[in-house]
Amino acid sequence: MNPIEKHPLQPFLPENSRLLMLGSFPPARKRWCMDFYYPNFNNDMWRIFGLCFYGDALHFVNTGKKTFLLDDIIRLLKEKGIALYDTASAVRRIRNTASDKDLEIIRPTDIGFLLRQIPQCDTLVTTGQKATDLLTAYFGSTAPPVGGHVTFTYEDRLMRHFRMPSSSRAYPMKIGDKASYYRQMFVAARLLNVGEGANPGAVFPSDKNI
């Protein structure tokens, strides 16, 4: 039986956070290219962010070193007020894969504890099915459809929960289509203006074979 893994990262909670993004749990350390969230170079989250905010999938990518530009990522997150953590604080991997279906949840995250540290936050985003299931179980709320959102009240705070497609390349959707969903969510969360960062001729990672 594989050992229990505690979350290796501290919650990233800028004081001005209005949006909290929650995945499931980081991949095994051997898959990391940096010490931060979505650290697998084959995960497209930071390429999606590049498309949404700059119209360029490679904006945060160091292709030569096969890593991401962490300082630039953190600068954008602090500027926009985007917090990051995961819906599980401790897990056991049933198999040695990066797949959510192979995670046994040992300790779900106390999401309310995170929200009390970022009082301006009124938007929650889950990136994948397991994260969505854990969040709705925590709040007793309804799961939104992929690309959609629901509202609920938590401690007198009206919250919106958006469910985004997974940024994993195993999820069967083109990165440009995923970015369209994320862009709509960022606009709805008032973190991105309509048309900001848009680039109809954007080069996607698949076009660059990375």
Residue 162, strand partner residues: 125, 149
Count of CB atoms situated within 10 Å of the CB of 28: 14
pLDDT-derived band at 180, boundaries 50, 70, 90: very high
Q: What is the pLDDT at residue 203?
A: 44
Q: What is the pLDDT at residue 205?
A: 46
Q: What is the pLDDT at residue 193?
A: 87
For residue 39, give the 3-state DSSP assignment: coil
Residue 68 has pLDDT above 50, yes or no: yes
Distance of CA 66 to the CA centre of its chain: 20
Please provide the average confidence, as pLDDT, over all residues in the chain: 91
For residue 4, give the 3-state DSSP assignment: strand
Q: What is the pLDDT of residues 108-136, one digit of tens each?
A: 999 999 999 999 999 999 998 999 999 99
Mean pLDDT of 1-8: 92
pTM for the whole structure: 0.91
pLDDT above 90 covers a percentage of the chain that reads: 84
What is the assigned CATH class of domain 4-193? Answer: alpha beta
Domain boundary assignment for the chain: 4-193
Count of CB atoms situated within 10 Å of the CB of 12: 17
